[in-house]
Structure 1
Amino acid sequence: MEEDTIKYMFKNAMNENWEEVVRVCKDNPRAQEAKITRSGDTALHVAIYSGREATAIELVNLIAHKDLERILGMKNDQGNIALHLAATVEMAEMCVCMARKVPTLVKSRNNNGETPLFLAVLHGKKKTFISLHSKCPNGDDISLCRRTDGNTILHCAIMGEYFDLALSIIYKHPSLINSHNEKGQSALHLMASHPSFFRSGSPLGIFDFIIYHCTLIDPFEEETLFNDTHSLDSDRDSKCRLPENYITCWDFINLLWKLVAIFVAKCRRESKSAKSDGTEAKKSVHGIGRDVEQPGHDNHGDFHLDPQPSGKNVYMVHHIEGIIFILYTWANDSAPSLYRAAT
């Protein structure tokens, strides 16, 4: 492969001019296997690194059928093939595309003895794990779930605190519960060594205590395995555009908002009742006579009803409404931007 072509591809990739990179690979099939970085990455590796899933799929579709296994099996200096990288960045569709074309790719190991399935769990990519698991030639083969140091995907899920992923792993591979790494540790040993994983080992403040007891946890259900054209899990139905770690706060604010709405409705009903009583009192006073002064009347005997009865209650309600509205608006609009800024 000519050095000038490699430099040209690298320059366009760094400038995110992927249309030109695809054109070069289409015009020159040998460019598809060219290592364009110092770490031995091909254009396909770089496209996946850059998060360009559509471009990566396009590059894969350009590869001739007879060259698929060789080109898709090319490793960089860390021993990672393109499928390894796709598994770490949550490109589930890309993983299915490559695994469908060359099923043996799921067995490939990098320099650390990690398979694509293992890397998906190591980085907490649940959708990718389920999609790759569905493409394993033998779903019960746990050899793909262990690396050279003896740690299994269940060890990694617990150490990474991906507990929902750990539940899925246990459901699919119950035998991993009793698997030990080189240090003789099982998954249960790792759980026991972290008291903060449990309620008894996590002192909670007042606000945390309320959130803890207001959090609703759905019963665990086995996920439907990923298919080739649709994502496997429908995302949680949420009217607010929030990252997952803000959902608990959102649920709490929604609950608080409903309680305030009930309280406000009750106060309004009391206000209407007070107004009705005031009207009746007015009629009663007029019946007795205008020459008698009554509380709430002027010197002419006219009855004046306070336009805001139960002033203290209404004052408090209005303030609570304002506070909750601010929290509600912040959770719906501002939280995502704050989250992005923090990450």
Structure 2
Amino acid sequence: MDFSGLKKPYHAALEGDWKGMESFYSKHPERLLDPLTIDKDTAFHIAAYSAETKLLGHFLDLLKEPSQILAALSNKNSHGNNTFHEVTTTDNVKAIKLLISKLEWACAQDKVHGTNFITELKKLLEDQNQLGETPLYRAVALGQFQVLKFCAKRVGNLSYHFHRYDKMSILHIAAIGQHFETAAWLLEKDKGLGKEKGNSGMTCLHLLAKMPSAFESSSRMGKMKTLLYYCMLSMLCV
């Protein structure tokens, strides 16, 4: 990796100096696709996981070729994450809409390769990182429910996103993170998830039973967990 000449934007990113990053790349747009960290994060990865929509939009506007836009959205860091993987870990639906609109523009402009927008978007949202997680799986793991629902409308069949390489189901990861509203939504989409066993041999119902403290809570989370528990119990008894 060639980090030469990237000290300024690197330190700006560390300090959250988004104006500094914007200034550097406005002068050197040719460096936008270059890795900026040892994890091979580009400026797009950083802007995405920092939920900096304005900065992300500015970077995308600096790219004039459709192929550059496609590369900015699909390039992976050392963890196998593309830009969508990073933005779905935030609650920034606006940023996802921005990425999708730029992708649509790039596909419409790409007359040479005839790139299809729907196909490319599906490919990016179904892309798996080194753990086998898609951007939607990551959204569930981090409890970004609104982001999940927004992206789900654009992928059609959700089953592709249900498991990572170690077979951990998307419902299990939601329960482990205590994202119970998300778990209930997933169960509504596919009741079969409730019957699956994880590597420990436990169903999601077993996992919930091992979290007694959440049942004692009068908070919305406690109520959601109770609702999810009895919903799963009724399904398993059918």
Q: Which runs of 5+ in 1 are unaligned?
A: 203-207, 221-343
The separation in 2 between residues aligned to 1:62 and 1:132, in whole angstroms, is 26
The separation in 1 between residues aligned to 2:157 and 2:39, in whole angstroms, is 34
Which residue of the other structure, out of 129, 140, 144, is the alignment partner of 2:157?
140
The separation in 2 between residues aligned to 1:27 and 1:173, in whole angstroms, is 49
**Larger RCO (alpha carbons 8 Å, 6+ apart):** 2
User: 2:87 — aligned with what?
Assistant: 86
Q: Is residue 191 of structure 1 aligned with residue 192 of structure 2?
A: no
Report Cα offsets for 1:232-276 as digits up to 9, x if no partner.
xxxxxxxxxxxxxxxxxxxxxxxxxxxxxxxxxxxxxxxxxxxxx
Report Cα offsets for 1:278-307 as digits up to 9, x if no partner.
xxxxxxxxxxxxxxxxxxxxxxxxxxxxxx
Residue 129 (structure 1) shift: 0.9
Pairing 1:50-129 to 2, within 5 Å after superposition:
50-63=50-63, 64-100=65-101, 101=103, 102-103=120-121, 104-129=123-148
The separation in 2 between residues aligned to 1:134 and 1:172, in whole angstroms, is 12
Helix, strand or coil at the partner of 2:6: helix
The separation in 2 between residues aligned to 1:72 and 1:21, in whole angstroms, is 18
Pairing 1:1-343 to 2, within 5 Å after superposition:
3-63=3-63, 64-100=65-101, 101=103, 102-103=120-121, 104-136=123-155, 139-198=156-215, 202=216
The separation in 1 between residues aligned to 2:2 and 2:163, in whole angstroms, is 40
User: Is contact 1:78–1:111 with CA below 8 Å preserved after alignment?
Assistant: yes
Residue 185 (structure 1) shift: 2.6
Residue 149 (structure 1) shift: 1.6
Report Cα offsets for 1:17-49 as digits up to 9, x if no partner.
434433443444421111111221111222234
Greater CA radius of gyration, 1 or 2? Answer: 1
The separation in 1 between residues aligned to 2:147 and 2:223, in whole angstroms, is 26
User: Is contact 1:99–1:105 with CA below 8 Å preserved after alignment?
Assistant: no
Partner amino acid, structure 1, of 2:6: I
What is the aligned-residue identity percentage?
25
Helix, strand or coil at the partner of 2:55: helix
User: 1:283 — aligned with what?
Assistant: none
User: 1:336 — aligned with what?
Assistant: none
Q: 1:135 to 1:27 in 2, by over 3 A?
A: farther
Alignment RMSD, CA only? 2.8
Helix, strand or coil at the partner of 2:5: helix
User: Is contact 2:44–2:72 with CA below 8 Å preserved after alignment?
Assistant: no
Residue 107 (structure 1) shift: 1.0
Partner amino acid, structure 2, of 1:77: S
User: What is the count of residue pairs matched by the alignment?
Assistant: 204
The separation in 1 between residues aligned to 2:188 and 2:140, in whole angstroms, is 15
Q: 1:180 to 1:68 in 2, by over 3 A?
A: farther
Helix, strand or coil at the partner of 1:85: helix
Residue 120 (structure 1) shift: 0.8
With normalisation by structure 1, the TM-score equals 0.53
Helix, strand or coil at the partner of 2:178: coil
User: Is contact 2:152–2:158 with CA below 8 Å preserved after alignment?
Assistant: no
With normalisation by structure 2, the TM-score equals 0.73
The separation in 2 between residues aligned to 1:179 and 1:62, in whole angstroms, is 46
